[in-house]
Amino acid sequence: MHNPANSPALYVGLISGTSMDGIDAALVEFGDHRCNVLATLAAPYPHELRDKLISAAQSPADCTVDMIGHMDQWVGECFRDAAIALLEKQAVSSDLVNAIGSHGQTIRHRAQDRGAENLRLLLFRYPRQLCLHRRSAT
């Protein structure tokens, strides 16, 4: 990461909720007791991916390890592409971004179960897909 001392402290935030309709992205600048939202972007998921995510959430018994792996990769690529599109929209170099924050995609959340031992969360993780310097040919 290259961020000269006089450059703003820029961060990207990425989130997708249980609606599974897409990704919300924000470019934020933090500095001396302030936080400025510089840009936002809503990036819808491809219809096929959204259908697969919803199916996995509604029928977990039918969701195989291979399906999870495929969706994990695809969701990561969508998050990466949303971050790149956000930076391109603002003409900001990825070298100026200090960090990217994201929780991944929840496909199963059982909020009705109280107590940590009963909470069932599956979050996709995708660190290698969030390389902002290149896109795969998918």
Sorted by where each begins, the domain ranges of the chain are: 10-130
Which pLDDT belongs to residue 28?
Answer: 96
Rounded average pLDDT over 119-126: 45
Please give the residue that has the higher pLDDT: either 77 or 18: 77
The CATH class of 10-130 is alpha beta
Q: Is 19 exposed, middle or buried (0-12, 13-18, 19+ CB in 10 A)?
A: exposed
Is the per-residue pLDDT at 121 higher than 80? no
Please give the residue that has the higher pLDDT: either 45 or 114: 45
Predicted TM-score (pTM) of this structure: 0.78
The whole-angstrom separation of Cα 75 and Cα 22 is 10
Q: No. of H helices and E strands in the chain?
A: 2, 5
Give the position of tokens 């009705």: 112
- Phi, psi at 76, each rounded to 5°: -60, -40
Residue 114 pLDDT grade (very low, low, confident, very high; cuts 50, 70, 90): low
Cα–Cα distances in Å, from 95 out to 7, 44, 72, 100, 111? 11, 25, 26, 12, 39
Q: Which string of b and e fits 99-121 if b means at least 16 CB within 10 Å? A: ebebebbbbeeeeeeeeeeeeee
Which pLDDT belongs to residue 37?
Answer: 96
